[in-house]
Amino acid sequence: MDYYLSVATFAALHIILAVGLNLVMGFCGQVSLGHAAFYGVGAYASAMLSVAGWPFPVAMLGGMLAAGLLGVITGLAALRFREDFLAIATMAIGFIFVGTARKLAWLGGEMGISKIPSPLSKHEYAWLAMAAAVLLIIFSLHVRRSWMGRAFSGVAQDEVQAQTIGIDIAGYKIAAFFLATASAGFAGGLYAHMTQLIVPDAFGFVVSISILAMVVIGGVGSTLGVATGAVVLTLLPEVFRIINDYKLLVYGGMLLGVMMFSPQGLAGLLSQCVQAMRRRKEAA
């Protein structure tokens, strides 16, 4: 039972991370290859607050705000950089975070932060994570339908044209990054308190790529697709135990395969099927 609970909790955390990344990449068109850094900032900030004696809600909020702050700074950088530059810049932020966490003594160095107080039971973490995941999915669907979502899609398709019709691209990009990173920070806080030990390597480039994989395989831009991708990629190594040894090979292969054959991911495949069925119905 404990095991299933743990898997479910991680699936929920990954949903939060992937749906958040989708907000910034899928909706607003800003490439981010360093999402794990925000996960990490949330984890570290909330862990340090908890270890210092602050109550759980405060620590969680602190984690979200710290991650959100770094997100706003990243958003400001996004204003200066074009697409390819932004990809590398976000990747750089990821490496800087890990590199700094590894060395700075007050961040725990290579050993990280341990003995993080854990105020909730395994069940409670699971429920909290799942509730948060569901809330974020609903929120993301709402954003898509709102005028913020419309403006995002303008920014994603053509920034210059968006500016011409009065859209404050700076404000929207920063908003996108804040929403994505604050939610990643929340996930980080949960992760830290649940596992009670965090180390820098848990938030490295490979983790950023894993989250990217969930978004891309699920279908960039589709909230439900991305959430599905997160669940699938969390369950995959658990369901096929042998895969664990070949995890990266499978991940990489899936990324490559999806890009080559269905760049819109699972969501794209689904919508193509639906369209094909519709066409057949009309022809009949």
Q: Which of residues 200-259 bind other proteins (CB under 8 A)?
A: 205-206, 209, 212-213, 216, 220, 246-249, 251-259
Site for other proteins contains 73 (CB under 8 A): no
Site for other proteins contains 123 (CB under 8 A): no
The CA distance from 180 to 25, in Å, is 9
One residue of 260, 280, 282, 284 binding other proteins per CB under 8 A: 260
Identify the bridge partners of residue 113 per DSSP, sorted by sequence position. Answer: 198
One residue of 55, 57, 119, 263 binding other proteins per CB under 8 A: 263
User: Any residues with CB less than 8 A from the CB of 145 and at least 6 apart, and which?
Assistant: none
Residue window 156-175: x/- pattern of binding to other proteins, with contact defined by CB under 8 A: -xx-xxxxxxxxxxxxx-xx
Distance of closest approach, residue 123 Cβ to other proteins, in angstroms: 33
Distance of closest approach, residue 253 Cβ to other proteins, in angstroms: 5
Distance of closest approach, residue 196 Cβ to other proteins, in angstroms: 25
Distance of closest approach, residue 102 Cβ to other proteins, in angstroms: 5
Residue 145 near residue 223 (C-beta atoms within 8 A): no
Nearer to other proteins, 102 or 122 (CB): 102
Site for other proteins contains 148 (CB under 8 A): yes
Angle between the N-to-C axes of helices 56-80 and 83-103, in degrees from 0 to 180, rounded to the nearest 10: 140
115: tokens are 């003995």
- What's the distance, CA 171 to chain centroid? 21
User: Any residues with CB less than 8 A from the CB of 230 and at least 6 apart, and which?
Assistant: 11, 14, 15, 17, 18, 19, 214, 218
